[in-house]
Amino acid sequence: MAFVVTAIATATGIAATTLVAGAAVGVSAYGAYKGAQANKSNAKFSANQAKANAAIAKRNAADVVDRGKDAIADQKKATIRALSNIRASAAGAGLVVDQEGTLPQDLVMSMTEAGELDIVRLQKNIDREEQRAKDQGANFTAQAGQFKAQAKSINPFFSAASAGLNAAAGSGDILFG
C-alpha cells in the first residue's frame, strides 16, 4: 500500500501525506453514506414490520369477537340444557316446576340468573380482549409512522458530505497547507 501511495505521489507531484489525507476523507464520506443507507433501509423495514403487526392485531381483535360469540352461544346452550335437566328431574319426581315459591321454580330462577351472569362476564372479557388487541394495533400503527418518519429524515448524501467535510477539516493543514 505504501508503495502505491509513493508511486502516485511521485507521478502526480502531490505529497504522500496529502494523498493519504484525501483518501481518508473519501473513505470517511463513503462509510457515512453506506451507514446512512443501512439506517434508512432498517427504518423502512421496521416501518413495514410494524404495519404488518398492526394488521395482525386488527385480525386478532376480530377473532376475539368471533370466538366470544361462539363462547356466549355455547354458554346459552349449556344454561338451557341445565334448565331442561332441572325441569325434567323435578317433573319426574312429581314436583310442580312452574309454580312460584316452589323449590323447582327457585332452582330454575337461580340457574337462569347464573347463566345470565356467566354471559355478562363472558361479554366483558370479550370486550376487554378486543380493546387490548385494538390498542396493540394502534401502537404498531404509531410505530410504523415513527419508523417511516425516521427513514424519511435519513439522507445518505448529506451524511457522506458531512463526514467528508469533518474529515477534511481535521486534515485541513495537510490538504490545504
Domains in the chain: boundaries: 2-175
Contacts of 156 (CB under 8 A, 6+ apart): 32, 33, 34, 36, 37, 40
Q: Which pLDDT value is given to residue 113?
A: 94
Contacts 24+ apart (CB under 8 A), 112-116: 112/79, 112/83, 114/79, 115/75, 115/76, 115/78, 115/79, 115/82, 115/83, 116/79
Position with higher pLDDT, 7 vs 134: 134
Convert the pLDDT of each residue in 30-49 to its tens digit: 777 778 888 888 989 999 99
Q: Which pLDDT value is given to residue 21?
A: 64
Work out the average pLDDT over 123-147: 95
For residues 30 and 140, what is the distance between their CA atoms, to the nearest angstrom? 34
Convert the pLDDT of each residue in 51-102 to its tens digit: 999 999 999 999 999 999 999 999 999 999 998 998 888 888 888 877 787 7
Q: Which pLDDT value is given to residue 5?
A: 47
Lowest mean pLDDT among 4-8, 17-21, 29-33, 81-85: 4-8
